[in-house]
């Protein structure tokens, strides 16, 4: 599944092509994705100008003059900017054509993505309303992590992957950040002190910012707007490296299942 760096890379690639453009038509070829595509989209969006594209967690928000398109890539979704007359492929489910002669095309082979039309404040939308802070914002820090963790018995990896705690820390980046901070992924969230949470918050920011800088991580399905793959997999310290030496030289990386997700860590330097 595309994680926060991949979604942010998509946002940055799409926005220069669509900001200031006016929507001509919306074509929905497959209305049934994870949730039905909002039927109002085809009636209300044409004629409106796209003013900006921003990201909230793993959702993309296309701000129009009188509403927002809220799009989630799901497990294998892709957004591309193509000439509007480009013939659609088998899994090209939604086109938003622009007065520039281009189209925003949503492709989703597994159909776990979603496309909503929101008339009001997008932050009040049910899927966004209870989300935690953005990890690269000033609202996120180790003090907040420490405060939210008190009394929590869940493993710290599950805690930081909970979108009510902080958004966008997916499985790959959780393993990488915990290794960078030297924290064992099974340690109970409520048993970690303030100083270590401050290190963890900084590690989360550093890992995510580094992934964004190189276009995300490509392990299976993710491909960027321009057709390129991300390169952060070349920098991974522990993820998918079971049996290999820890980069700190202290022993082999171990793989365990935590919260039904494959987790990679060094049992020596992560405590």
Task: List, as residue ranges, the binding site for DNA.
Answer: 91, 110, 152
Concerning whether 58 is annotated as a catalytic residue, the answer is: yes
Both tokens of 190, joined, read 């409520």
Domain extent at residue 20: 4-124
Task: List, as residue ranges, the binding site.
Answer: 91, 110, 152
Same domain, 12 and 109: yes
Among 22, 187, 254, 261, the active-site one is 261
Same domain, 162 and 220: yes
Q: What is the pLDDT of residues 131-145, one digit of tens each?
A: 999 999 999 999 999
DSSP conformation letters of 112-149: --EEEEE-S-GGGSTTTTT----TTSTT--HHHHHHHH
Residue showing tokens 């919306």: 26
Concerning whether 255 is annotated as a catalytic residue, the answer is: no
247 near 234, Cβ under 8 Å? no
Among 11, 55, 56, 58, the active-site one is 58
> Rounded to whole angstroms, how far apart are CA atoms 158 and 87?
43
Among 2, 5, 122, 135, the active-site one is 2
Distance (Å) of CA 29 to CA 22, 75, 93: 21, 19, 5
- Domain membership of residue 207 (yes or no) is yes
Concerning whether 261 is annotated as a catalytic residue, the answer is: yes
- Domain membership of residue 149 (yes or no) is yes
The pTM (predicted TM-score) of the whole model is 0.88
- CATH assignment of the domain containing 228: 1.10.8.50
Concerning whether 2 is annotated as a catalytic residue, the answer is: yes
Both tokens of 191, joined, read 């048993």
Per-residue confidence band for 107, with pLDDT thresholds at 50, 70 and 90: very high
Q: Is 217 a residue whose pLDDT tops 60? A: no
> Rounded to whole angstroms, how far apart are CA atoms 156 and 139?
20
Please state, as a whole number, how many other Cβ atoms lie within 10 Å of the Cβ of residue 262: 14
The pLDDT value recorded for residue 224 is 45
Same domain, 76 and 169: no
């Amino acid at each position: 599944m595309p994680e926060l760096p991949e979604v942010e890379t998509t946002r940055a690639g799409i926005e220069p092509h669509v900001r200031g453009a006016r929507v001509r038509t919306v074509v929905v070829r497959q209305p049934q994705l994870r949730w039905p595509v909002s039927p109002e989209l085809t009636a209300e969006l044409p004629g409106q100008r796209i003013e900006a594209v921003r990201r909230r967690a793993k959702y993309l928000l296309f701000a129009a003059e009188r509403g927002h398109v809220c799009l989630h890539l799901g497990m294998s979704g892709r957004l591309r900017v193509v000439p509007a007359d480009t013939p659609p492929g088998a899994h090209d489910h939604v086109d938003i054509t622009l007065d520039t002669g281009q189209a925003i095309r949503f492709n989703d082979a597994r159909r776990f993505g979603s496309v909503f039309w929101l008339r009001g404040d997008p932050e009040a939308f049910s899927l966004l309303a209870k989300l935690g802070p953005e990890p690269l914002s000033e609202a996120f820090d180790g003090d907040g992590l420490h405060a939210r963790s008190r009394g929590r018995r869940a493993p710290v990896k599950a805690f930081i992957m909970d979108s009510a705690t902080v958004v966008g820390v997916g499985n790959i980046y959780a393993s990488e950040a915990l290794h960078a901070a030297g924290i064992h992924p099974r340690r109970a969230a409520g048993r970690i002190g303030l100083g270590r949470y401050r290190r963890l918050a900084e590690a989360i920011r550093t890992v995510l910012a580094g992934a964004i800088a190189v276009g995300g991580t490509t392990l299976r399905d993710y491909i960027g707007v321009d057709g390129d793959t991300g390169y952060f997999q070349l920098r991974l310290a522990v993820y998918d490296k079971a049996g290999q030496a820890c980069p700190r030289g202290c022993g082999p990386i171990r793989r365990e299942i935590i919260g039904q997700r494959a987790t990679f860590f060094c049992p020596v330097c992560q405590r």
